[in-house]
Amino acid sequence: MFNNDADPEYAFQALYIDKLLVDHGYPATDNCLDQESYHEAFFDALDLLAKKPVRNTFFDDNDGTGYERWDFYDPCITDYFELSNEYSKRHHIRYKKNPYINRVVGGVKKEHG
């Protein structure tokens, strides 16, 4: 189960992801706990939870660095924003003044600074 070269931080993060999956009725992953186990558990969890495929885009900054962007699609989130947009249209308010949009923006800022 544990690889001798495993970084304990990554191994515990992978175990935590598995625990969350099991606690919510999903099967645990069968990943070995090594340096890559956290990433494998993360991708397995996304595959289990995603209703539609997740899109992964890599951006190269042409200086040897780059970053990845993951797009996660959830029909509930899509429906929420479509209904919020409809609310804006019916009440003739701008999208930025929409209380439902402001609630989401406030929650994201609260969680992620």
Domain boundaries, given as residue ranges, for the chain: 8-52, 75-112
Strand partners, 67: 59
pLDDT value for 86:
95
Tens digit of pLDDT for each residue in 29-52? 776 776 667 777 777 777 777 656
**Distance between CA atoms of 64 and 84, rounded to whole angstroms?**
41
Tens digit of pLDDT for each residue in 73-92? 677 888 999 999 999 999 99
Note the Cα 68 to chain centre separation in Å: 13
Pairing of strands 66-71, 55-60: antiparallel
